[in-house]
Chains A and B, each alone.
Chain A
Amino acid sequence: EPEVTQTPSHQVTQMGQEVILRCVPISNHLYFYWYRQILGQKVEFLVSFYNNEISEKSEIFDDQFSVERPDGSNFTLKIRSTKLEDSAMYFCASTGWTGGLAGELFFGEGSRLTVL
């Protein structure tokens, strides 16, 4: 069964360092997302990406965050200068729906980021 894969599964970093989280969405999907979940809290939308550009982003997704699809398969989330409050599980998701109503999101297993 096709799946979304994410690396690394866990990254520990020092405050102020840059972090890149990588995702390989399901190959024929068109829409890609990053969500985050701080421990014990709800899943929060960060950004959606379609046709090689950001489609929608939340207030959380400030100038410290960027996304890229560099090679047609990987979808990356970069945090330029990490803060303590960036510690969370980051989920990549993709969907194959072609517009209109939202369909099922397929999530990766997540990348746990710990900022010290």
Chain B
Amino acid sequence: RKEVEQDPGPFNVPEGATVAFNCTYSNSASQSFFWYRQDCRKEPKLLMSVYSSGNEDGRFTAQLNRASQYISLLIRDSKLSDSATYLCVVNIPPSSGSARQLTFGSGTQLTVLP
């Protein structure tokens, strides 16, 4: 099983649609979860952290299910500017050392159409 697995898409949705992305992770000891956004040929940027209780930031809602080792991202009322690749990111506890590393999923590509 891959450490972090995402549906690659692409998801092509009309403006205003609601779209949901899913992600599963394999290491049950993982403690931190994030959604990053990456525009074409640009660096990843943090979209939002994912908390155990679920959290919302405007049109974006993130959920975590530890029992199923599953993370989701919901985008409501999608905009053209939401077109990007969405990366599920999980911290993998280190085998040694103190700096935990983040492991990235392959990303889900979203295109919002006018």
Contacts and interface: CB of A to CB of B under 8 A. Distances in A.
Interface residues of A, number: 27
Nearest to B95: A56
A50 B34 contact: no
Nearest to A41: B106
Contact of B44 (A43, A45, A56): A43
B94 A102 contact: no
A55 interface: yes
Contacts of A101: 31-32, 91, 100
A55 B102 contact: no
A75 interface: no
Nearest to A54: B97
B97 A91 contact: no
Given A42-B104, A91-B43, A56 B32 contact: no
Contacts of B46: 104-105
Q: Is the interface of A mostly helix, strand, loop or mixed?
A: strand
A105 B99 CA distance: 12
A107 B99 contact: no
Nearest to B104: A43
Interface in B91-114: 91, 94-107
Contact of A102 (B32, B43, B44, B97): B32
A55 B103 contact: no
A58 B95 CA distance: 11
A101 B51 CA distance: 12
Interface centre among B31, B41, B96 (most CB of A within 10 A): B41
Contact of B43 (A49, A99, A103, A108): A108
Contact of B105 (A42, A58, A102, A109): A42
B64 interface: no
Contact of B99 (A42, A49, A58): A49
Interface of A: 31, 33, 35, 41-45, 48-50, 54-56, 58, 89, 91, 99, 101-105, 107-110
